[in-house]
């Protein structure tokens, strides 16, 4: 080996310190021994190239990602709609299946202490009848539930004449008498062929109402329903009327119970008299 030249002085303050002096490399030598050990040159094969994913695999991965995103968004939308429906159902007043005529039993939760004003376009609730017992709190249904319960009928806005009031009060008395006697056939004579609003049902056929009344009366040994003097309003054309009154009920049977509700009946004038086209409880009073 050739000795390195280290006679050049390099100051430590210089920015670059050369390691060694450049020198020429000796040319390679090929002797017989090196020739015998040398391996022949072999060209690269096509199989040695780097492998890549097929195009169809990449397309399937992209389609899978898009489909997963769509299904995830659809599931989230259905979940949100289900939560909204559950909240609206929880806000609606519950009607027990065994209450005759859709009578609402007072809930066990603490009632609201103050009554809210009725929705615009409806008649104000009738004044409570004199009672010796202290006033009880009322349970207001949700505004959305009340709005959905409104049948599509003319808005009652006028005081009826004495003749119309007499006809409607007589119809109410006959309906109450049939209810207390559990006479389903007589009670059905006061209903129109289609009841636009029957508590939480809409456009219920009269036969469906009959079946519900029959089932409920069969489970009661005695029914006593009393109504306070009703508040009546009629539509401008005199064809429909809205009647609201306090209704007290007591039911004896498998489970005796009693209560008081503010009920609304909607009537329509026909050739055979006034017929009920809407029946619901506005709120539970007791």
Q: What integer pLDDT is reported at residue 38 of this predicted model? A: 74
- Residue 200 maps to a domain: yes
Asked if 244 contacts 250 with a C-beta cutoff of 8 angstroms, the reply is no
- Residue 166 maps to a domain: yes
- Residue 129 maps to a domain: no
Q: What are residue 243's phi and psi, to 5 degrees? A: -125, 125
* Token pair for 237: 């054309």
- Residue 264 maps to a domain: yes
Q: What integer pLDDT is reported at residue 19 of this predicted model? A: 57
- Residue 59 maps to a domain: no
User: Which residue range is the domain that position 277 belongs to?
Assistant: 91-102+137-284
Proportion of the chain above pLDDT 70, given as a percent: 62
The DSSP secondary structure of 130-153, one letter per residue, reads P-SSPP--BBPPPHHHHHHH--S-
Asked if 246 contacts 69 with a C-beta cutoff of 8 angstroms, the reply is no
The DSSP secondary structure of 67-108, one letter per residue, reads HHHHHHHHHHHHHHHHHHHHHHHHHSPP--TTSGGGPPPPPS
- Residue 43 maps to a domain: no
- Domain CATH code at residue 178: 3.10.450.50
What's the mean pLDDT in 268-274? 94
User: Taken in order 120, 123, 124, 125, is the CA torsion positive or negative?
Assistant: negative
Residue-wise pLDDT tens digits, 54-102 = 888 888 888 888 888 888 888 888 888 877 776 666 555 444 444 445 5
- Residue 38 maps to a domain: no
Q: What are residue 140's phi and psi, to 5 degrees? A: -85, 130
Q: How many domains does the chain have?
A: 1
Q: What's the predicted TM-score (pTM) here?
A: 0.48
- Residue 14 maps to a domain: no
């Amino acid at each position: 080996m050739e000795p390195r030249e280290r006679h050049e002085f390099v100051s430590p303050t210089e920015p670059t310190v050369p390691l060694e002096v450049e020198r020429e490399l000796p040319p390679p030598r090929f002797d017989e021994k090196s020739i015998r050990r040398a391996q022949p040159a072999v060209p690269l094969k096509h199989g040695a190239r780097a492998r890549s994913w097929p195009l169809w695999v990449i397309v399937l991965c992209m389609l899978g990602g898009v489909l997963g995103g769509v299904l995830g968004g659809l599931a989230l939308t259905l979940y949100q709609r289900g939560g909204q429906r559950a909240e609206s159902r929880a806000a609606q007043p519950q009607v027990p299946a065994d209450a005759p005529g859709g009578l609402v039993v007072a809930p066990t939760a603490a009632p609201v202490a103050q009554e809210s004003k009725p929705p615009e376009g409806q008649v104000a609730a009738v004044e409570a009848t004199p009672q010796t017992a202290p006033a009880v709190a009322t349970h207001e249904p949700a505004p959305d539930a009340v709005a959905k319960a409104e049948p599509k009928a003319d808005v009652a806005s006028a005081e009826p004449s004495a003749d119309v009031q007499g006809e409607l009060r007589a119809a109410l008395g006959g309906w109450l008498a049939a209810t207390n006697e559990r006479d389903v056939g007589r009670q059905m004579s006061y209903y129109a062929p289609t009841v636009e609003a029957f508590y939480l049902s809409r456009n219920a056929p009269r036969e469906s109402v009959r079946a519900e009344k029959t089932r409920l009366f069969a489970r009661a040994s005695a029914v006593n329903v009393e109504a306070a003097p009703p508040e009546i309003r009629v539509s401008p054309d005199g064809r429909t009327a809205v009647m609201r009154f306090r209704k007290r009920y007591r039911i004896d049977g498998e489970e005796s119970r009693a209560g008081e509700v503010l009920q609304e009946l909607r009537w329509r004038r026909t050739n055979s008299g006034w017929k009920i086209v809407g029946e619901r409880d506005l709120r539970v009073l007791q």
